[in-house]
């Protein structure tokens, strides 16, 4: 079992497989050995695709030997969040209701991952229907953080992040409807990017016709270059998703070495409404200052926004009830407490409430568009706190009372509302050794710029060589 192979970047692994220096089968078997040894401590996977993955790896190696055309992720082992439908593989969506469901189709994302040549190792743990910022459900034990197994890895892509951070896959696909890529990336010392709304088609993602246009699938990776590569694979128009961006996706890798010289970058410690742990605020503030040393202009944005949570919650919860209310009505005892809470709220939202929320979405989108007329990027903490003990969500942050369910994610849901792109990048550690993430936010359509800035920060303050205790 090789830790060096397990933590090799996906870009490097793909190159080594193409050059016949490493076989896909060798890499895949190594990950399964590590999963067998380590995942009992983390519960990062819900379902493993052991036999199919090994067969696919052998086929990938045969294609290399025969000189066949190879996809950009040919032979590279990847994990898929269990909100994505996978043909012939159990897809639970983190719910006991679907513990035995085997779909007869792939989501668009899974279609594209397969077409890239990647090897799907399995489906990663997620809270029920992706409705929580931590990863507990009624399918089994909570998912745990490899930096400290008493702490949460975040959610809802908690299993995706835990598996990647521990070296149990080369890449992870997550989804983000209120922060669900960026939360676990921040908590687990990884890079994660939520693309612009519509950049990655979502048909077949949840498998239900939810009226939720906040969610995007996206990469969780150990390097920025890996994220650019995976985003290139899954981005682009698909007519089955009416929200899909019609313009071709840019080359996300092309500008990674261009730096940030000349960029106008704003910093905000709290958006004007967020309660933030002082240590998180200080670590992220110092990280933001590094961009000035790299040639950017960095200034305090002095943002004074109103907390948009009620707008987010009315739409998010309504979508939950629209998609899964039939389960709520049939047997709420089989649902999680947070699932019940979301659906109970969703079914009480009136047409007038929803109309006002949709108006607020438009208003906030315009407000942020105008902000980015003045700035290229906005920086903030990704999370209000470092990762906390499992099922002990903070009710007080920075001396202020907050809602335990959502108070620790005040920065992420705004970006889902406005449809913009944002990434979380590791920027330091708390006094007790837990990772802290810096939030890099760009206007709609600016994934390449966000990745460019993230790559510059990665070069200035590398993190990929640091490994958690469970690895």
Q: Using omega within 30 degrees of 0 as the cis cutoff, is the peptide bond preceding 37 cis? A: no
pLDDT digits (tens, 9 = 90+) for 82-139: 999 999 999 999 999 999 999 999 999 999 999 999 999 999 999 999 999 999 999 9
Relative to beta strand 396-397, strand 297-300 is: unpaired
Active-site amino acid positions: 81, 156, 180
Query: What does the angle CA 153 – CA 159 – CA 163 come to, to the nearest 5 degrees?
Result: 95
Phi-psi group of 401: left, alpha or beta (phi > 0 → left; psi -120 to 50 → alpha; rest → beta): beta
Contacts with 148 (C-beta within 8 Å, 6 or more apart), sequence order:
387, 432, 433, 434, 469
DSSP lists the bridge partners of residue 393 as none
Res. 465: pLDDT tops 60: yes
Q: Cα-flanking dihedrals φ and ψ of residue 123, to 5°?
A: -105, 130
DSSP E strands, 117-224:
119-124, 171-176, 191-194, 216-221
206 — pLDDT class (breaks 50, 70, 90): low
pLDDT digits (tens, 9 = 90+) for 423-451: 999 999 999 999 999 999 999 999 999 99
**What pLDDT was estimated at residue 209?**
46
pTM over 0.85: yes
Query: What does the angle CA 27 – CA 39 – CA 89 come to, to the nearest 5 degrees?
Result: 70
Report the alpha-carbon distance of residue 94 to residue 125 in Å, rounded.
7
Domain 3-460 has CATH 3.90.550.10: no
pLDDT digits (tens, 9 = 90+) for 41-95: 999 999 999 999 999 999 999 999 999 999 999 999 999 999 999 999 999 999 9
What Rg value do the Cα atoms of the chain yield, rounded? Answer: 20
Contacts with 396 (C-beta within 8 Å, 6 or more apart), sequence order:
402
The total of other beta-carbon atoms located within 10 Å of residue 21's CB is 10
Q: Mean per-residue pLDDT for 319-329?
A: 85
Contact criterion met (CB below 8 Å) for 5 and 30:
yes
Res. 207: pLDDT tops 50: no
Handedness of CA 467, 93, 213, 242 (dihedral sign): positive
- Element containing residue 439 per DSSP (H, E): strand 435-442
Alpha helix (H) residue ranges in 252-335: 278-293, 309-331
Report the alpha-carbon distance of residue 367 to residue 315 in Å, rounded.
19
The total of other beta-carbon atoms located within 10 Å of residue 257's CB is 11
């Amino acid at each position: 079992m090789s830790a060096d192979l397990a933590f090799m970047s996906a870009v490097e692994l793909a190159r080594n497989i193409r050059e016949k220096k490493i076989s896909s089968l060798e890499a895949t078997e190594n990950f399964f050995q590590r999963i067998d040894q380590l995942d009992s401590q983390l519960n990062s996977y819900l379902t493993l695709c052991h036999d199919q993955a090994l067969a696919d790896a052998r086929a990938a190696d045969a294609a290399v030997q025969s000189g066949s055309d190879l996809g950009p992720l040919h032979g590279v082992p990847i994990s898929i969040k269990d909100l994505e439908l996978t043909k012939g593989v159990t897809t639970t969506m983190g719910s006991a209701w679907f513990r035995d469901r085997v779909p007869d189709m792939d989501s668009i994302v899974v279609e594209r991952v397969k077409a890239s040549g990647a090897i799907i190792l399995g489906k990663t743990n997620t809270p029920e229907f992706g409705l929580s910022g931590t990863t507990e459900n009624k399918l089994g034990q909570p998912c745990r953080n490899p930096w400290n197994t008493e702490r949460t890895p975040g959610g809802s892509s908690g299993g995706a992040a835990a598996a990647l951070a521990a070296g149990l896959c080369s890449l992870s696909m997550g989804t983000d409807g209120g922060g669900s890529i960026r939360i676990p990336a921040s908590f687990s010392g990884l890079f994660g990017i939520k693309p612009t709304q519509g950049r990655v088609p979502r048909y077949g993602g949840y498998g239900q016709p939810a009226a939720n246009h906040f969610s995007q699938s996206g990469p969780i990776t150990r390097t920025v270059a890996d994220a650019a590569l995976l985003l290139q694979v899954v981005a682009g128009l698909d007519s089955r998703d009416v929200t899909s961006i019609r313009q071709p996706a840019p080359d996300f890798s092309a500008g990674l070495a261009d730096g940030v010289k000349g960029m106008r970058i704003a910093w905000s410690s709290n958006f004007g409404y967020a309660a933030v742990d002082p240590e998180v605020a200080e670590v992220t503030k110092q990280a933001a200052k590094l961009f000035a040393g790299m040639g950017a202009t960095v200034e305090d944005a002095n943002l004074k926004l109103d907390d948009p949570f009620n707008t987010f919650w009315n739409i998010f919860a309504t979508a939950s009830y629209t998609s899964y209310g039939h389960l709520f009505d049939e047997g709420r005892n089989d649902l999680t407490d947070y699932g019940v809470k979301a659906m109970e709220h969703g079914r009480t939202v009136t047409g007038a409430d929803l109309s006002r929320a949709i108006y607020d979405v438009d208003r906030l989108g315009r407000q942020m568009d105008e902000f980015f007329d003045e700035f290229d990027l906005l920086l903030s903490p990704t999370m209000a706190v470092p990762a906390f003990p499992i099922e002990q969500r903070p009710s007080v942050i920075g001396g202020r009372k907050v809602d335990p369910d959502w108070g620790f994610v005040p920065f992420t849901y705004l970006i889902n509302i406005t449809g913009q792109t944002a990434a979380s990048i590791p920027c330091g550690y708390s006094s007790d050794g837990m990772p802290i993430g810096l939030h890099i936010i760009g206007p709609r359509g600016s994934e390449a710029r966000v990745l460019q800035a993230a790559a510059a920060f990665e070069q200035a303050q590398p993190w990929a060589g640091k490994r958690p205790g469970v690895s």
